[in-house]
A and B are shown apart, each in its own frame.
Chain A
Amino acid sequence: MQSLKSNYFQLFNLPQSCEIDQEALNDEYRKQQGEVHPDRFANAEEHEKLRALQLSSYLNEAYETIKSPLRRAAYLLALHDIDVEKVDQNDLSMDLLLEQIQLREKLDELPKDESALADLDMLRAEVISKLERQENRFAEFFVVANYEDAKKVYHELQFLNKLRNEIDAGEELRLGY
């Protein structure tokens, strides 16, 4: 494992890109975790234990970031000095907001019992296909170094992701989990 300062992509020997080889990531993560995990140092000196804790935590954070398409997108932008936490109102188009309102209304109008499950599945499928489309758009802008537009697409991804989580929560609610 390389130093704590290295970039997450380099850490996993992956090219710095929007699309990643998930299998290669998993393999590399497991291999490195096998080297730095505190369990490998259960019998070691205190300072070695502490170092293992830090390296292993760092590796987990890096892995979670690269694995999730949304977090990966934010990270890629951050590597190009774009802070996604700073939301410019102009980044959010009226079309995007209207679409979000419509999708949310659809979700809110569904009955609050099991009869809504099929509709929830349909709504989720719709959101997932939108997510995939936006992930592709993000990649298109990113590849040509158009980070401003990539950032706008990132915010769309954020909205859609949140909506997807709410659909999942709504489903659990109706299944009585």
Chain B
Amino acid sequence: MRIPALLPALAVCALALTGCGESDEGTVTDGAAGADTAGTSVTVTATDDACELSATSAKPGSVAFTVTNEGSSVTEFYLYASDEEIIGEVENIGPGLTRTLTIDDVVAGDYVTACKPGQSGDGIRADFEIS
């Protein structure tokens, strides 16, 4: 009977862990309220052979990519820095689904977006600017 008490404790640990992650290097989103209002939203329409973004640039800060898969294969969406470092990724976007990738604290610079229908290869890429 000592153990049942431990399991919720463990759960709290895990919650705390992700709580820490949530404010990870985020000065903008530390106050829970201000997060989304200050950010930019970009909608992405992904198909098997195209990746259309509603904008090709955004302001520095929080950027939310809302990706809708209108194709027939599972896709994923990436934001890369110019040196191929992954800034953010959302995978397992099944056909017919919409998933959102929110990235906090994107600094000004040149980036690359990519949709990867079939979840392989370099993907359908486009330049994206934060300024």
Q: Do A and B come from one complex?
A: no
Q: What residues of chain A have their CB less than 8 Å away from a CB belonging to chain B?
A: none
Q: What residues of chain B have their CB less than 8 Å away from a CB belonging to chain A?
A: none
